[in-house]
Amino acid sequence: MNPVGELTIAVPRGALFDETVELLSQLGLDVGELRSNDRRLLFDDIGVITMRSSDVPTYVEAGAADLGVTGKDVLLEQAAQHPGEPGRDVYELLDLRYGRCVMVLASKAGPDPALEALRRLGVMRVATKYPRIAARHFEETGRQAEIVEVKGSVELAPLTGMVEAIVDLTATGTTLQENNLVVREEIAVCTARLIANPVAHKLKAARIDQLLERIRGLPAPV
């Protein structure tokens, strides 16, 4: 029997995986194979499916999982850009308080080239893996920005002169420092979040509420 009440949980592979598995272990799940088998995706016996963090809201929204764990950055990026636009239809239930990173605006050390571009041209070029977060931030702060979406190492873009700044997620700031980049603004603090499918949240409310109470009763993550 699944000790979390026969709920299906989407677990993110990657940076949040180890701490999420530890959370499930503290809740009573047998996570031995989940820890040791990085090729298997579906663990029916404990009600777990694994995937990329960015896919978790998709599976939860579709009802393939009742609950999921993903980063706040993913939720912000997949949120509606403007009122009336579609965003992921999931409920954010709980800040799990681990996996802390900060979404930042950064540029090359020294006089800020992004500020200079704004002054001279009225627009700055910004590279990012998070185009919706970046666009929303500049719209809310009343600045014009040309957003360049990149998939790989975003730090390369300002070093080659392709852009004046980047919007990226950083945990320690080490990668920025190693590439002679400095943080100019902090946009959002991002941690792991527990999300729910709206229908499951209604039909399985008692089970989910019990699980939330159990999680709240666990020791705070180090």
DSSP annotation string for 139-199 = HHTT--EEEEE-SS-TTHHHHTTS-SEEEEEESSSHHHHHTTEEEEEEEEEE-EEEEE-HH
Average pLDDT, the chain: 93
pLDDT in tens, 39-65: 899 999 999 999 999 999 999 999 999
Rounded to whole angstroms, the Cα distance separating 73 from 137 reads 13
CATH, range 101-190: 3.40.190.10
- CA dihedral 100→105→106→107, nearest 10 degrees, is 170
At 219 the pLDDT is 85
pLDDT in tens, 122-163: 999 999 999 999 999 999 999 999 999 999 999 999 999 999
pLDDT in tens, 171-215: 999 999 999 999 999 999 999 999 999 999 999 999 999 999 999
Domain 9-99+191-216 has CATH 3.40.190.10: yes
Model confidence at 81, pLDDT cuts 50, 70, 90, reads low
Q: CA dist 26 to 84, 120, 219, 221, Å?
A: 40, 56, 10, 12
Global pTM value: 0.91
Task: Examine domains 9-99+191-216 and 101-190 and report if their fold is the same.
Answer: yes
Question: For the chain, which residues make up each domain, given as ranges?
Answer: 9-99+191-216, 101-190
